[in-house]
Amino acid sequence: MSEALHGTVTLVIGGRSYTLKPTLDAALRIEARFGGLRGALESMRLMSIAACADVVVAGADLKPDQHPVIAGEVFHTGVAQVSGKL
């Protein structure tokens, strides 16, 4: 695997594939939302549907208006399954 792809993850949520890339922009968006990466990890541990959607939106570089769609897909897929992968 090339260095550029290191840490890239593809998730299937609700029948759709999302490729999450560990970019600086994604990290900053996640930090801004959760007050740091530790807060994001804690939200995954607590299995927050909205938090899962936030991380997918940031990591896949999606538009904020896609958040409700992603949240619905997380809910239908199962938050435990999605949060564990994130």
**What domain count does the chain have?**
1
pTM of the model: 0.90
| Three-state secondary structure string covering 38-80 | HHHHHHHHCCCHHHHHHHHHHHCCCCHHHHHHHHHHHHHHCHH
Q: b/e string for 27-41 if b means 16 or more Cβ within 10 A? A: eebbeebbeeeeebe
Question: How far is 14 from 21, CA to CA, in rounded Å?
Answer: 19
Domain hosting 27: range is 3-85
Positions of the chain with pLDDT under 50: 1-2
Query: What's phi and psi for 70, nearest 5 deg?
Result: -65, -45
Mean of per-residue pLDDT scores for the chain: 92
